[in-house]
């Protein structure tokens, strides 16, 4: 029976030859991602039920990221609980403050993500890891507790929408512009509880970092997961990186697999995009909306805080001065060090930017970039809901690092192509 990539992975992990959309299965889990916000409630649930034993301390990856370093007493208590739990259970892959980074950048960077595996995490953007050919999805604290305890979770097999991305991207257009275009077409619920499978020749010109930007935002269209086939770019990224270097399985959708629908995009026609408040689906081409004044620029997050993103922003900011408050956040210590070694920090500081340690803080309106009433922020993040980055009357505009950097220079929404 023909199956899609997602169906094949879930079939293999539930001990079945075939599965069909709508079928309920119980799947084994290969990796459980834990961070400082959703994990302490999960561990408290297990403690209350006297189920503190975990299924495998080598398959759980722990990193504080949302409120690290701690911003106040409450966040310090969360970090203390997470630290104590990780040490008590001898979690092999624990990244404490000083080694911690934004989870969805850290896990692929550190070699925890393998094609063909099932990965869950207590964060909606866990769908990021599907760029590496894995089934990966976000869960809540209750399911997180179950996964940590048993190493299994139930799923309803999702239908799959295939997104065919073809055509060479124009100068100044990036993967963030592609995914904003996709979401603008189908809406924030267009892929609700569906697998979003991305294929096409456009992917061949995208690095793994750029691909992860696309799968990261699958949840912004309601997707259960985002996924891409494994190719030479994937294999090269994984080479010498994986914690477990045993052979992995790279699944592909069968030629006659059944898709719920197929969406085709000529990516050569995409221009730099900005998602206007207050939904990621409010995407508009930059030529339609240029000149709106901004108060802050934020370059970072699990969507666009990788070294490639920082290089793009630095390339535009070099020799320029920002006109608005501009915050740059490398997503992991490794990225931070690399950006420093490449002298990108010199460019950012000379331009008048602030550089932070790796953290999710500003993205969720926690700290390191919270917005006041009426302020507008051009951000490379993934979510622009009401109050997402601070005051309910602030407004967030989503864009690529290039568009964000160009807008920071002029203090208003700006087409990055004038600086490239």
Q: What is the CATH number for 131?
A: 3.30.499.10
Query: Do both 282 and 213 map to the same domain?
Result: no
pLDDT, tens digit (0-9, with 9 covering 90-100), for 311-351: 999 999 999 999 999 999 999 999 999 999 999 999 999 99
Residue 293 lies in a domain: yes
According to DSSP, the β-strands at 273-275 and 283-285 are antiparallel
Please tell me the distance from the alpha carbon of residue 355 to that of residue 358, in angstroms, as a whole number. 9
Q: What is the pLDDT of residue 100?
A: 97
Residue 195 placed within a domain: yes
Q: Which of 78-82, 244-248, 316-320, 353-357 is predicted with the least confidence, judged by mean pLDDT?
A: 244-248
296-305 per-position pLDDT tens digit: 999 999 999 9
Q: What local confidence, expressed as pLDDT, does residue 245 receive?
A: 81
Q: Is residue 251 part of a domain?
A: no
Identify whether residues 111 and 161 lie together within a single domain. Answer: yes
Of the CA atoms within 13 Å of residue 353, those in its CB half-sphere come to 31
The last residue of a domain, from among 208, 233, 265 = 265
Last residue of a domain, one of 265, 297, 321: 265
Q: List pLDDT tens digits, range 145-184.
A: 999 999 999 999 999 999 999 999 999 999 999 999 999 9
CA distance 370 to 368: 6
| 8 Å CB contact between 65 and 29 | no
In a domain, 134, yes or no: yes
Residue 252 within a domain: no
Count of domains forming the chain: 2
Q: Are residues 23 and 129 in the same domain?
A: yes
Predicted local confidence at residue 32, as pLDDT: 98
Does residue 410 lie in a domain region? yes
The whole-number pLDDT of residue 70 equals: 95
The mean per-residue pLDDT over the stretch 115-131 comes to: 98
- The verdict on 409 and 327 lying in the same domain is yes
Domain containing 66 equals: 5-242+258-265
Mean pLDDT of all residues in the chain?
A: 97
Residues facing 420 on adjacent strands: none
68-80 residue pLDDT tens: 999 999 999 999 9
Percent of the chain exceeding pLDDT 90 equals 98
- Is residue 148 situated within a structural domain? yes
Residue 52, pLDDT score? 84
Same domain, 206 and 321: no
User: In this structure, are 132 and 215 located in the same domain?
Assistant: yes
Same domain, 125 and 179: yes
Q: In this model, does residue 244 exceed pLDDT 90?
A: no
Domain assignment present for 313 = yes
166 and 223 fall within a common domain? yes
Of the listed ranges 135-144, 241-250, 261-270, the least confidently predicted one is 241-250
93 in Cβ contact with 243 (< 8 Å)? yes
* pLDDT above 90: residue 187: yes
> Mean per-residue pLDDT for 214-225?
98
Largest CA distance in the chain: 61
Span 363-398, pLDDT tens digits: 999 999 999 999 999 999 999 999 999 999 999 999
Residues 200 and 291 in one domain: no
Q: Are residues 201 and 120 located together in one domain of the fold?
A: yes
Share of the chain above pLDDT 70, in %: 100
> In terms of domains, do 148 and 285 share one?
no
As a three-state string, the secondary structure of 284-348 is EEHHHHCCCECCEEEECHHHHCCHHHHHHHHHHHCCCCCCCEEEECCCCHHHHHHHHHCCHHHHH
14-72 pLDDT tens trace: 999 999 999 999 999 999 999 999 999 999 999 999 998 999 999 999 999 999 999 99
């Amino acid at each position: 029976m023909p199956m899609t990539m997602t169906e094949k992975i879930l079939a293999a992990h539930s001990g079945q030859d075939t599965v069909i959309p709508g079928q309920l299965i119980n799947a084994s889990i290969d990796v459980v991602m834990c961070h400082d916000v959703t994990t302490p409630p999960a561990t408290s649930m297990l403690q209350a039920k006297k189920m503190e034993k975990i299924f495998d301390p080598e398959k759980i990856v722990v990193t504080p990221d949302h409120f690290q370093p701690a911003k106040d007493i409450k966040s310090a208590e969360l970090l203390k609980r997470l630290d104590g739990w990780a040490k008590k259970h001898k979690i092999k892959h624990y990244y404490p403050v000083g080694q911690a980074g934004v989870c969805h950048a850290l896990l692929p960077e550190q070699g925890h993500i393998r094609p063909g595996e099932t990965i869950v995490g207590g964060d909606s953007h866990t769908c990021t890891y599907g760029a590496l050919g894995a089934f990966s999805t976000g869960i809540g604290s209750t399911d997180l507790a179950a996964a940590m305890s048993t190493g299994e979770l139930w799923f309803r097999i999702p239908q799959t929408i295939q997104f065919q991305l073809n055509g060479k991207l124009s100068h100044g257009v990036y993967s963030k512009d592609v995914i904003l275009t996709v979401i603008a077409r189908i809406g924030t619920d267009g892929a609700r509880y569906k697998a979003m499978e991305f294929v096409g020749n456009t992917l061949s010109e995208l690095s793994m970092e750029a691909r992860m930007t696309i799968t990261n935002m699958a949840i912004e269209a309601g997707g259960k997961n985002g996924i891409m086939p494994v190719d030479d770019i994937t294999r090269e990224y994984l080479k010498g990186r994986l914690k477990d270097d045993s052979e992995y399985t790279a699944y592909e959708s069968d030629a006659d697999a059944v898709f719920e629908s197929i969406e085709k995009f000529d990516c050569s026609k995409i221009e730099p995009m900005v998602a206007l408040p207050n939904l990621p689906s409010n995407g508009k081409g930059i030529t339609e909306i240029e000149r709106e004044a901004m108060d802050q620029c934020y370059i970072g997050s699990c969507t666009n805080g990788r070294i490639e993103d920082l290089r793009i922003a630095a390339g535009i900011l070099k020799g320029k001065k920002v006109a608005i408050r501009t915050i740059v956040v490398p997503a992991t210590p490794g990225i931070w060090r690399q950006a420093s070694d490449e002298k990108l920090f010199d460019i950012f500081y000379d331009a008048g930017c602030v550089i932070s340690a790796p953290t999710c803080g500003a993205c969720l309106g926690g700290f390191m970039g919270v917005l006041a009433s009426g302020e507008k922020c051009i951000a490379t993040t993934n979510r622009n809901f009401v109050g997402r980055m601070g005051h309910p009357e602030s407004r967030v505009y989503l864009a690529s690092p290039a568009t964000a950097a160009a807008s920071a220079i002029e203090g208003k929404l700006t087409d990055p192509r004038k600086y490239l």
